[in-house]
Amino acid sequence: MYHALAFEDLLDLVNLAAAFRGRIDTAVVDSWRQTAIRMWRWLRVMTHPDGELAFFNDTAIGVAPSNGELEAYALRLGIEAPEGEPFERSGTSGQGDGGASLDTLRTGGQGGGEATFGGLRTGGDGAGSVEDADPGAGLIHLPGSGYLRLSHGPATLFLDCARIGPDYLPGHAHADQLSFELSIGARRVLVNTGIDRYGTDAERVRQRGTAAHNCVVVDGQDSAEVWSGFRVARRGYPLDLVATKSEASLEVACSHTGYRRLPGRVVHRRRWRLEAGQLLIEDRLSGRFGQAEAWFHLHPDIVVKLDDPHKARISLPDGRLIGLSIEGGSARLQPSQWRPGFGRSLDTQVVVVALNDTGLTTIWRW
């Protein structure tokens, strides 16, 4: 949301420079145009097939201009569109945080050309641009912001392997590390719950909390200490990100240290594997804890029936069916809400899976 607003501001600067030619150095205006292309590409990567943004941190529909309006504005200014069709499913090559499509990415001190940024080591061994053999399958990493997009067949998956940030002012950050969202076709299926307000009340804090996202909650605690309306105290960092792409599947694994502040010094590692007809998610916890639960929030248009604590059937409005299998935990359904924008809240359901031990596997088949 804020990226889209900043993109609009940058386009306004380009527009003003064109209206008052000669007032601003040409090199500066050219740099604005190049930055606009990268921002445009980032926006496309982080957009669901329904044309709206993925819900990470403070994001709401209807605050910023729509992607279509921003693209039309950029084109009127003569800014070159990024490669590929809008909201494309294939991997996108680019520079900076415009994203790179990958065969292999490994961070956490492995590979050459590494850079250290605030305790997170990012490797350069797999960050080159490659062509996708299958235009319907792509793995895109946005290294500057820490998000990834995986696309395979009808499935589009958005992953948060990011730092909470910015470090000096994380007022719009949520405790949502290793959360994700999933669309099948143009339908959102698994969603973070969004926000319907600002302010400093308890509900604002709850909406920023870990349980409001597709995350694992350990001992009832948030993975970052969100407090008041726009504050974060102790927080964790992502570790050991590995992303690989083969002909058959796309796979990402990452850890975070948000629970190391707890007495048991827990580290959560999550692995996603997206392949033809299914998404496999593995969660592993190292350290001591009393209770852990994985939360999977469903879009309000989705109907779910829990057959037993280890199986569920999920129906999409277009008639598609998704089967959920659970290994290493027991599931329950409880009410939840999805908040598409300020002042708007829609009833939905969440699948909450209590881990039996330190590991959980959930398989979503369509």
pLDDT tens-place string over residues 265-303: 999 999 999 999 999 999 999 999 999 999 999 999 999
pLDDT at 226 over 60: yes
Q: CA nearest 110: which of 93, 128, 95, 126?
A: 126
CA dihedral 19, 24, 27, 32 (to 10 degrees): -60
- Mean pLDDT, residues 150-167 taken together: 95
CA distances from 140 to 37, 152, 154, 251, 283 (A): 17, 12, 16, 11, 22
CATH class of segment(s) 91-365: mainly beta
- Mean pLDDT, residues 212-239 taken together: 97
Enumerate long-range contacts of 311-320, CB under 8 Å, 24 or more apart.
Answer: 312/351, 314/189, 314/364, 316/184, 316/185, 316/187, 316/189, 317/187, 318/185, 318/187, 320/184, 320/185, 320/187, 320/366
User: In terms of pLDDT, which residue wins out, 129 or 327?
Assistant: 327
Tokens of residue 164, six digits: 């909470």
User: In terms of pLDDT, which residue wins out, 311 or 91?
Assistant: 311
- Mean pLDDT, residues 215-230 taken together: 97
pLDDT class for 131, splitting at 50, 70, 90? Answer: very low
Beta strand pairing status for 249-256 and 267-275?
A: antiparallel
Query: What ranges do the domains of the chain cover?
Result: 91-365
Contacts (Cβ under 8 Å, ≥6 apart) of 256: 177, 178, 223, 236, 237, 238, 239, 267, 268
pLDDT at 75 over 80: yes
Query: What pLDDT digit, counting tens, does each position of 173-197 carry?
Result: 999 999 999 999 999 999 999 999 9
- Tokens 């960092």 belong to 237
pLDDT at 132 over 60: no
pLDDT class for 169, splitting at 50, 70, 90? Answer: confident
- CA distance between the termini of the chain: 30
Could you tell me where the beta strands, DSSP code E, fall in 237-343?
A: 238-245, 249-256, 267-275, 278-286, 292-297, 303-308, 311-315, 321-327, 329-341
Query: What pLDDT digit, counting tens, does each position of 25-59 carry?
Result: 999 999 999 999 999 999 999 999 999 999 999 99
Return the pLDDT at 165: 85
CB 121 within 8 A of CB 105: no
Mean pLDDT value across the chain: 89
Tell me the percentage of the chain whose pLDDT exceeds 70: 85
* Proportion of the chain in helix, strand, coil states, percent, rounded to 5: 15, 40, 45
Return the pLDDT at 83: 76
pTM for the predicted model, two decimal places: 0.87
Sign of CA dihedral 61, 67, 70, 76: negative
CA distances from 195 to 72, 147, 198, 304 (A): 28, 20, 8, 23
User: 355 forms bridges with which residues in the sheet?
Assistant: 329
Measured CA to CA, the distance from residue 175 to residue 177 in angstroms comes to 6
Return the pLDDT at 167: 86
Query: What pLDDT digit, counting tens, does each position of 88-123 carry?
Result: 333 333 334 555 555 666 665 333 222 222 223 333
